[in-house]
Amino acid sequence: MINISKSFHGVRANDNINVKVSSGEILGLLGENGAGKTTLMNILYGIYQPDAGEIRINGHRISIDSPKASIDHGIGMVHQHFMLVQNHTVIENIALGYAHAPWLFPQKKIRQRIVSFSEKFKFDIDPEKKIWQLSAGEQQRVEIIKALINGAGLLILDEPTSVLTPQETRDFFQVLEKMRKDGQMIILISHKLDEIKRLCDRVTVLRKGQVVGHADAGHLDKRTLARMMIGRDVIFSFSREKMPRKEKVLEVADVRVDGDKGYPVVNGISFAVYRNEIFGIAGVSGNGQRELAEAITGLRTVTHGQIRINDIDITNQSARKIHNTGVSHVPEERIRFGIAPNLFIYENAILKQHHQKKFSRRAFLAYGRIKAHTRQLIKDFQVATPSINVQTKNLSGGNIQKLILGREIADKPDLLVASHPTYGLDVGATEYLRNQLLRRRTEGGAVLLVSEDLDEIFELCDRIAVIFQGHFMGILESDDPRIADIGMMMAGTSDLKAGEGADASR
């Protein structure tokens, strides 16, 4: 792939990227979420088309305008989120994309192929089983067979171990080794350093849409890789003045939460957040932080443990009750959860507070007060809009985020939970939002910040916890020198011993 560039709505997802793979080689594509790895591979697989650049196979320039074209060229992809029809059997799923499937009784021929694959890679898959009956590891194997059955010379794997247990991961590594021996070309997308180091021959590191480095197997050093991935040597920033610790606002005790698929994604987390403090949860997306935030704000049930706000037990209370206790939430997917896009700005400005006395008189909404409040809000939070009578979906992403943030902060909540608040925003909006979070802190509020952006974490947080696979790898004060290892903690390779972290209340 040569000089590939791609933008979405003005945001550069891929910026002039060059990548090369040869047969019998596993190339690792390393980077945080949002670095552009998946976008790049989706271009290779034909789901997106690049704005600029070209793709060559064996020196010949080719054009890939759909997944079908990609499959025809011998490229197969196993996506991070499986593309399987849950209600159908293994055979039916594989038959779907098999280019040479016979029209009549395709099951017969495919069953044979499945069996031969199973023997080759020791897969042990029952072809007649329905997908929903299989474990994550087994489903992944189905995806791999799907990709290979069309004779893919190049196999793209997107975060393949994100849903696997340690045992399944070990099995998976063996499969990859065998493939490499067979001369297969593999591109492995991952944020996990252990994996990259163990499996890959070469590594390309992406950050914020650009290539920031290549490395060979012999020169793989986890620390260097981590530094390339997050883009900095850790700098200690004291732009915040230290504030004395006051009362506890949030207390989370041994909480376990189930994910959408039904198995636990938060496995016993305990911590506390105090007034005048910004507590950061750092970690790559998908390690349980979203579900944890949802549990705290009442959008998801807790299967074990307790959550207290100002010493009031709010475990599994309704979202509205928790909001009334003084918790505000800036959600991760802001368009999806934070606003009703077709409604006007002033209507969204009171989305969670519409039932409060200050905005309503009995059953009626007090539009006068609502509009005044909105005007104040967009002034205070610098939301750029021609008027408040505009449909909310017409604002830019940054302004929507500012609106949501303003809405949540204006309440002066005791606890503000902010999930990836500046993701995808331009520099100006980012700076502004971060200042607002700091202001909240100074005013006496507590802020729980979930973010993948380490710049943000270091700039804002008093204490930092690193989450990996549903656990906190450690909780550190921001001036703790072990922060330098944060990249490794995010990638799962380092675990602070209990008691060494800043989780004890003083």
**Separation CA 34–CA 210 (nearest Å):** 11
In three state form, how does the secondary structure of 229-258 look?
HHCCCCCCCCCCCCCCCCCEEEEEEEEEEE
**Which range, of 187-195, 253-261, 308-316, 328-336, touches other proteins by CB under 8 A?**
328-336
C-alpha closest to that of 224 among 209, 203, 208: 203
Provide the minimum distance between the beta carbon of 392 and other proteins in the complex, in angstroms, as a whole number: 10
Looking at 16, 325, 382, 391, which residue binds other proteins (CB under 8 A)? 391
CB nearer to other proteins: pick between 2 and 212: 2
Judged by CB under 8 A, how many residues of this single chain contact other proteins?
Answer: 64
Q: How far apart are CA 482 and CA 5, in angstroms?
A: 37
- In 3D space, the residue among 388, 392, 386, 391 whose CA is nearest the CA of residue 404 turns out to be 392
Least separation, in Å, of the C-beta of 428 and other proteins?
22
Instruction: Give the integer Cα–Cα distance in Å for 321 and 259.
Output: 22
Residue 121 has, within 13 A of its CA and on its CB side, a CA count of 24
Rule CB under 8 A: is residue 97 a binding residue for other proteins?
yes
Closer CB to other proteins, 101 or 461, in the complex? 101
78 near other proteins (CB under 8 A): no
Q: Which stretch binds other proteins (CB under 8 A): 237-245, 267-275, 320-328, 472-480?
A: 320-328
Q: From 44-52, 245-253, 436-444, 485-493, give the range in contact with other proteins by CB under 8 A.
A: 44-52
Q: Is 384 in the site for other proteins (CB under 8 A)?
A: no
By the rule CB under 8 A, 340 interacts with other proteins = yes
Quick one: which of 33, 53, 67, 308 contacts other proteins (CB under 8 A)?
67
User: Considering only 86-94, 119-127, 166-174, 238-246, which stretch makes contact with other proteins by CB under 8 A?
Assistant: 86-94
Q: Residue 52 Cβ, how far from other proteins at the closest point, in Å?
A: 12
Q: Which stretch binds other proteins (CB under 8 A): 62-70, 305-313, 443-451, 493-501?
A: 62-70
Does 190 participate in binding other proteins (rule CB under 8 A)? Answer: no
DSSP-derived secondary structure letter, 39: H
Encode 207-230: b = buried (16+ Cβ within 10 Å), e = exposed: bebebbeebeeeebebeebbbbbb
By CB under 8 A, tell whether 260 contacts other proteins: no
Which is nearer to other proteins, 294 or 452 (by Cβ)?
A: 294
Provide long-range contacts, Cβ within 8 A and 24+ apart, for 162-168. 162/80, 162/286, 163/136, 163/137, 164/136, 164/137, 164/140, 165/136, 165/137, 168/135, 168/136, 168/137, 168/140
Binding to other proteins, residues 466-485 (CB under 8 A) = none
Work out how close the CB of 239 gets to other proteins at its nearest, in angstroms, rounded to a whole number: 32
Which is nearer to other proteins, 92 or 462 (by Cβ)? 92
**Which long-range contacts link 362-365 to residues 24+ away (Cβ below 8 Å)?**
none
Alpha carbon 331 to chain centroid distance?
Answer: 13
- The correct pick among 196, 339, 473, 475 for binding other proteins (CB under 8 A) is 339
- 3-state SS class at 505: coil
User: Tokens for 350?
Assistant: 């009171």
Give 378's DSSP letter. Answer: H
Closest CA to 327 of 298, 349, 361, 306: 298
Integer Cα distance of 419 and 401 in angstroms = 11
Applying CB under 8 A, among 23, 165, 342, 389 the residue interacting with other proteins is 342
Among 34, 137, 326, 331, binds other proteins (CB under 8 A): 331
The mark string for 126-165 relative to other proteins (x by CB under 8 A, - otherwise) is ------x-------------x-------------------
- The C-alpha atoms of residue 422 and residue 450 are separated, in whole angstroms, by 11
List residues binding other proteins (CB under 8 A): 8, 45, 47-49, 65-68, 71, 77, 79, 83-88, 92-93, 95-97, 99, 101-107, 132, 146, 298-299, 318-321, 323, 329, 331, 336-343, 347, 351-352, 354-355, 360, 363-365, 367, 390-391, 393-394
